[in-house]
């Protein structure tokens, strides 16, 4: 009897709990959070949009840091 590996197609999963995340300051995450992995090209599109939004809200240093990290990945 062999072991059958079944690859999950996450495109059909929708939103689901994949990670356990806690804040460093101990405050609760009331609605949870979304984790975007740098190595995921689709996630980087979201990070780019977030960087633009935080820059508009005055968080230039955060936007700059995100942009620098994004620049380390090839398109």
pLDDT in tens, 19-33: 888 999 999 988 888
End-to-end CA distance of the chain: 44
pLDDT bracket for residue 13 (50, 70, 90): confident
pLDDT reading at 7 higher than 70:
no
In three-state secondary structure terms, 10 is: helix
Please name the residue ranges forming H helices in 1-75.
41-56, 60-70
pTM above 0.85, yes or no: no
Measured CA to CA, the distance from residue 63 to residue 56 in angstroms comes to 9
Q: Domain residue spans in the chain? A: 38-75
What digits encode the pLDDT tens for the residues 20-70?
889 999 999 888 888 899 999 999 999 999 999 999 999 999 999 999 999
Q: How far is CA 49 from the centre of its chain?
A: 12
Rounded to an integer, what distance in angstroms lies between the CA atom of residue 7 and that of residue 29? 31
């Amino acid at each position: 009897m062999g072991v059958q590996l079944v690859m999950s197609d996450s495109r059909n999963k929708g939103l689901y709990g994949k990670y356990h995340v806690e804040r460093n300051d101990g405050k609760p995450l009331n609605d949870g959070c979304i984790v975007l992995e740098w190595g995921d090209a689709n996630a980087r599109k979201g990070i780019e949009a977030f960087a633009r939004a935080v820059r508009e809200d005055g968080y230039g240093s955060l936007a700059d840091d995100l942009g620098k990290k994004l620049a380390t990945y090839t398109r």
